[in-house]
Amino acid sequence: MLKIGITGGIGTGKSEVCKILEELGAPVLYADVIAKNLLDTDENIKSEIKKLFGVDIYDHNNKINRKLLAKKIFLNDDYKNKLENIVHPVVTNSILKIFKNLEVKKDTPLIFVEAALIYETGFNKNLDYTIVINSDIETCINRVMKRDNVSRDDVINRIKSQIHQKKKVELADFVIHNNSTIEDLKKNVKFIFDLLMKIKANKHESKRT
């Protein structure tokens, strides 16, 4: 089974690429979805977060107050870093367990993991390949402003908190440029998907011989 990361800066179109991959029949794990679930279900994480932010960070149903959490980490980089240090190791372990279970079944040729911070957290070491989705900066800013209904300055601040997109492109095994139409994006994703399937098939053949 080939393990492939999907990453890129905010607004580059990672989610759209993953949607296309799923339409092609590929399983996709979303690190952000896993993290959000763990915030509400993992007792060790909940305990650590309450110590860091106070018990009122969880509501009366013992669910994380996402708006309050977002406000706290937006205003304080130290809080943001500490939160990531609490959550990311558990997310990593959860994904690795899924990898292990799928590898035992031997019926999944490719598995994709979508995560904004693959390089920042060092998770790329657990992957066979990484794909970076790349878009022009102005395109990214306009997409996020429209999608999240936020100001240009807010988007720029979020972009600054991530590794520079140029650096991600340099680290990537594959790059998908997303500056054109959805039809062009689908063609590019299909090309990479087919290429990875061939790589997997060739590796399987080499093992047999």
Summarised one tens digit per residue, pLDDT across range 183-194 is: 999 999 999 999
Could you tell me whether strands 110-114 and 2-7 are parallel, antiparallel, or unpaired per DSSP bridges?
parallel
CATH class of 1-27+108-204: alpha beta
Report CA-CA distances (Å) from 93 to 21, 41, 85, 88, 99: 24, 15, 13, 9, 10
The residue ranges of every structural domain in the chain are 1-27+108-204, 32-91
Q: What is the pTM of this model?
A: 0.88
Q: Tens digit of pLDDT for each residue in 110-159? A: 999 999 889 988 999 999 999 999 998 888 888 889 888 888 888 887 77
